[in-house]
Amino acid sequence: MKKYVYHRLPEKMDGDVVFPLNTMEKMFPDIFAKEVQKYHGREVLREREICTLGCLWNDVIHMTPVHPKEVRRHLRECGVRADFAGQFIKVDIDCLAQECLTLMAYEHFHFTFCDVNSVPWERICHIPMCTRAYYQECAQKDVRPILFHGVAHVLYKGCIDIHEHNIITV
């Protein structure tokens, strides 16, 4: 079974390479200013250490093993009105340097980091029940959800050339 991860591309992608946020801050300050807004109210995350990779939260590219169409479907089923349209890069994790990958699982902001291959992929490539419950709560309160709250993340310490992978539109 192929293992794919997905990363949402910026609306105005500048160039052919996806960079971690800290790299983007130096190279593309305008794009960084827009992308960093997703951490409003959660700025402390930007300083969180990724112990398995020896770097900070914003030194890695955050990807999800959940197909974006599944995320969109769950958002709609739960009544969330947030726009989820966009382009995503679809990456076969076997094409990435394995020593630069780690899996991050979390629930209620308790983070666990481990080897990507240590957890059965079938367990992490779907929206968990806690995320559905969170989406429903956001819909009831009419607030925009953190789209990947409670969803496993695959973190990559490096850059990704988008021409080496498929781009999908959701």
Q: Domain locations in the chain?
A: 4-169
* Mean pLDDT (whole number) for 81-91: 88
- pLDDT score recorded for residue 108: 64
| Structure token digits, residue 84 | 């989820």
Burial class of residue 122 (count of CB atoms within 10 Å of its CB; 0-12, 13-18, 19+): exposed
Q: Tens digits of per-residue pLDDT, 4-23?
A: 999 999 877 778 999 998 88
Q: Residue 166 CB: number of other CB atoms within 10 A? A: 12
The span from the CA of 84 to the CA of 147, in Å, is 9
The predicted pLDDT at position 55 comes to: 95
d(CA 15, CA 58): 19
Average pLDDT over the chain reads 89
The pTM of this model reads 0.89
Is the pLDDT confidence value at 47 over 80? no
Q: Tell me how far apart the alpha carbons of residues 82 and 144 are, in angstroms, rounded to a whole number.
A: 6
Average of pLDDT values for 73-80?
A: 95
What's the confidence (pLDDT) of residue 109?
64
Please report, for residues 11, 128, 139, 164, the alpha-carbon distance to residue 145 in angstroms, rounded to integers and kept in the order given.
Answer: 19, 15, 8, 31
